[in-house]
């Protein structure tokens, strides 16, 4: 029970890494808020967790809409009176189903650039902006941001996505420096290729899958492996760690 009685908000918890984290955090004793814009998936995860005898609450949220974020924060405060953990996990990514094409800079229209930055970077900014004051007031809090290897390395072909993820890394460091004095820790995970709906279509292409599997551990990661890292960073086991940019990538960034 490493998160006993903690209140944890996880954005994008209707799928992939967020879903795996929601299940693990709940099992470890947290009351988990699923802040997700996909109602069907959010409700499904809420039910899975509650049916297993743990505690979860789905609140439909678009992290890119400030009003929506404020509504979420107010609802959580009304219900639980505190927020211990924020896992800024939601993002739009590589799926061909995505409305926005992932492309190199010269092929990225301004509209796509703005939309990708508007969700992936602004969402982390807005959630943090409205939850940090509560954590400052509590004199405790824990923020984990989900970036990507794309934020660390020059991964070709998704320039707006990479810029957003790089922004999240910079934001993590400055938030850790600015808010450490309030006993708030801020850390960041940089996943490598993780088998979730975000990249499932990409993984269906054997050539691309082969490339993703070419890291030192020779395989793509599982969402549960990111959840384990998020749990470590959210729990007291990492009590002296803040400002960490942690690749969880099967060794890709070591090459
Ligand atoms: N899968 C990978 O290979 C990989 C690699 C590196 C980083 N990441 C990052 O990991 C995080 C989790 O992604 P995943 O792999 O689980 O993908 P996923 O697509 O399975 O899950 C992302 C979730 O975020 C939600 N979401 C998107 N925009 C939202 C918004 N505006 N408001 C609320 N919810 C929103 C989606 O509905 C979805 O449920 C993302 O930040 C992603 O960029 C993924």
Residue 64, in any domain of the structure: yes
Residue 240, in any domain of the structure: yes
Q: Considering only CA atoms, give the Rg of the chain.
A: 17
Residue 215, in any domain of the structure: no
What distance in Å separates the CA atoms of residue 48 and residue 55, rounded to the nearest whole number?
10
Centroid of ligand 1 to alpha carbon of 90 (angstroms): 4
Closest C-alpha residue for ligand 1 atom 30:
62
Closest C-alpha residue for ligand 1 atom 28:
91
Non-local (6+) Cβ contacts of 114 within 8 A are none
Please report the pLDDT score of residue 3 as a whole number. 98
Domain that holds residue 128: 7-192+223-250
For 99-120, the pLDDT digits (tens) are: 677 788 999 989 989 999 999 9
Please report the pLDDT score of residue 204 as a whole number. 86
Residue 227, in any domain of the structure: yes
Tell me whether residue 161 is one of the annotated catalytic residues. Answer: yes
Output helix, strand, coil percentages for the chain, rounded to the nearest 5: 50, 15, 35
Atom of ligand 1 at shortest range from CA of 223: 16
Please report the pLDDT score of residue 102 as a whole number. 79
Residue 203, in any domain of the structure: no
CATH number at residue 245: 3.40.50.720
In this structure, the residues whose C-beta lies within 6 A of any atom of ligand 1 are 11-12, 14-18, 36-38, 41, 61-64, 89-93, 119, 123, 146, 148, 191, 193-194, 196-199
Per-residue confidence in pLDDT tens, the chain, 255 aa: 999 999 999 999 999 999 999 999 999 999 999 999 999 999 999 999 999 999 999 999 999 999 999 999 999 999 999 999 999 999 998 665 566 777 889 999 899 899 999 999 999 999 999 999 999 999 999 999 999 999 999 988 899 999 999 999 999 999 999 999 999 999 999 999 999 999 988 888 888 889 889 999 999 999 999 999 999 999 999 999 999 999 999 999 999
Residue 52, in any domain of the structure: yes
Residue 26, in any domain of the structure: yes
For the chain, the domain total comes to 1
Residue 138, in any domain of the structure: yes
Please report the pLDDT score of residue 97 as a whole number. 58
Centroid of ligand 1 to alpha carbon of 134 (angstroms): 25
């Amino acid at each position: 029970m490493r998160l006993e009685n903690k209140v944890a908000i996880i954005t994008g918890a209707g799928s992939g890494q967020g879903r795996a984290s929601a299940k693990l955090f709940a099992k470890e004793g947290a009351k988990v808020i699923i802040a997700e814009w996909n109602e069907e998936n959010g409700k499904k995860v809420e039910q899975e967790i509650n049916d297993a005898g743990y505690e979860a609450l789905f609140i439909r949220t678009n992290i890119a809409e400030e009003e929506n974020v404020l509504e979420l924060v107010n609802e959580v405060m009304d219900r639980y009176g505190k927020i211990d953990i924020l896992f800024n996990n939601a993002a739009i990514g590589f799926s061909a189903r995505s409305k926005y094409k992932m492309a190199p800079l010269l092929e990225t229209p301004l509209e796509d650039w703005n939309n990708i930055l508007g969700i992936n970077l602004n969402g982390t900014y807005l959630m943090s902006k409205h939850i940090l004051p509560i954590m400052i007031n509590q004199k405790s809090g824990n923020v984990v941001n989900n970036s990507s290897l794309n934020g660390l390395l020059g991964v070709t072909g998704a320039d707006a996505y990479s810029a957003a993820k790089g922004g999240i890394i910079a934001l993590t460091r400055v938030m850790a420096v600015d808010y450490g004095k309030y006993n708030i820790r801020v850390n960041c995970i940089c996943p490598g290729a993780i088998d979730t709906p975000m990249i499932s279509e990409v993984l269906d292409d054997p050539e691309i899958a082969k490339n993703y599997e070419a890291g030192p551990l020779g395989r793509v990661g599982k969402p549960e492996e990111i959840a384990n890292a998020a749990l470590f960073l959210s729990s007291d086991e990492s009590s002296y760690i803040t400002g960490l940019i942690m690749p969880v990538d099967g060794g890709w960034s070591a090459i």
